Amino acid sequence: MANLLTMNDLSARDIEWILDRAESIQKDKKKFRESKPILVTNLFFEPSTRTRFSFETAEKRLGFQVLNFTSETSSTTKGETLYDTVRTLEEIGTDIAVIRHKDDHYFDQLIHNNIKLNIVNAGDGSGHHPTQSLLDLLTIRQEFILFQGLTVAIIGDLRHSRVARSDAEVLTSLGCRVVFSGPKEWHNPELPGDYMPMDEAVRIADVVMMLRIQHERHQHTLDLTKEEYHQAYGLTLKRSEMMKKGSIIMHPAPVNRGVEIADELVESENSRIFKQMHNGVAIRMAVLEWALETERGEMNRGELIKEW
């Protein structure tokens, strides 16, 4: 049994196992209906479309029993803590809790206490989003096969993005060069990599990963209209023409069309944005299986880079 809270919870062997398993799930037509009677509860304290419904789809395809917790109609509105909520669900019989919460590291209050069920992090504030990271890795691996030597440009609201953090750390450890661009106000010194002007980042990247502006986490707004932001920091049609041959566009979504990315580029030939969403179900099936496994073996990421 294992928790997935950040990408650091995964060894190289774990990442390889999850990506391989997700691909074998995608290839395998067999249904997963007669699986173990595992009970999963999805607790989303923040809005979500992709993560929430792809987890629910993954759980149902695995044959798990699924409970969907709604914070607005739960006893958290009467002051119950997250710990007491999860502890209660555990006592009711939940084996795995899939949790999204606005607080960075919300899971610390759970894992350092008495909680025994598995926790899978579906996004914590501006902290981490490991299953998004894994589906991004699968999308990149399906495109380029190897990670080593790739340049990935992560562009936009770097300060408030949990995807930027999770992806930058794991991609760097797998041998990619990760570069950043976006408004200076949103640079994040915690992220490993070089900062550069937008045009340069777009020109050198094999993967241009655009980020949504996280308005819900901002204390101060930028003094720019949507169109001004698009021209200064967005992937415009003109900028997309600077991209290298064979390079791809990614975005974790939801997308603000015409703001961080031109409307026409969202489903363009080199966009993998909907492929990322497609990969989300198999990755989450593989992660749920991974969380319930006991023996996975160990291998460090250096060894993995050599193997890949």
Which residues in this chain contact ligand CP in the complex, by CB under 6 A? 48-52, 123, 132, 252-254
> Least CB distance from residue 295 to ligand CP, whole Å?
30
Determine whether the annotation assigns residue 27 to a binding site: no
Least spacing, CB of residue 139 vs ligand CP, in Å? 12
Nearer to ligand CP, 72 or 216 (CB): 216
At its nearest, how many Å lie between ligand CP and the CB of residue 134?
Answer: 12
The residue among 98 and 242 lying less far from ligand CP, judged by its C-beta, is 98
Judge whether 47 and 295 are in contact, CB under 8 Å. Answer: no
Give CA–CA dist 66/169, Å, rounded.
32
Compare residues 58 and 253 and give the one whose CB is closer to ligand CP.
Answer: 253
d(CA 264, CA 139): 21
Residue 100 amino acid letter: R
Q: Please, how many CA atoms are within 13 Å of residue 146, restricted to the half-sphere of its CB?
A: 9
Which residues are paired to 177 by β-bridges? 151
Phi/psi of residue 72, each to 5°? -65, -30
Q: Which C-beta is closer to ligand CP: that of 48 or that of 231?
A: 48
Q: Could you tell me if 276 and 47 are in contact, meaning their C-beta atoms sit under 8 angstroms apart? A: no
Say whether 31 counts as a known binding-site residue: no
Q: For residues 127 and 252, which CB has a smaller minimum distance to ligand CP in the complex?
A: 252
What is the nearest approach in angstroms of ligand CP to the Cβ of residue 182?
18
**DSSP three-state, residue 14:** helix
Q: For strands 96-101 and 151-155, give the pairing.
A: unpaired
Q: Is 51 annotated for ligand binding?
A: yes
Whether 61 has a binding-site annotation, put simply, is: no
Q: Is 254 annotated as a binding residue?
A: yes
Q: Is 132 annotated as a binding residue?
A: yes
Cα–Cα distance, 195 to 211 (Å, whole number): 15
Residue positions forming the annotated binding site: 50-51, 78, 100, 129, 132, 162, 212, 253-254
**Which residues fall in the annotated binding site for L-aspartate?**
78, 162, 212
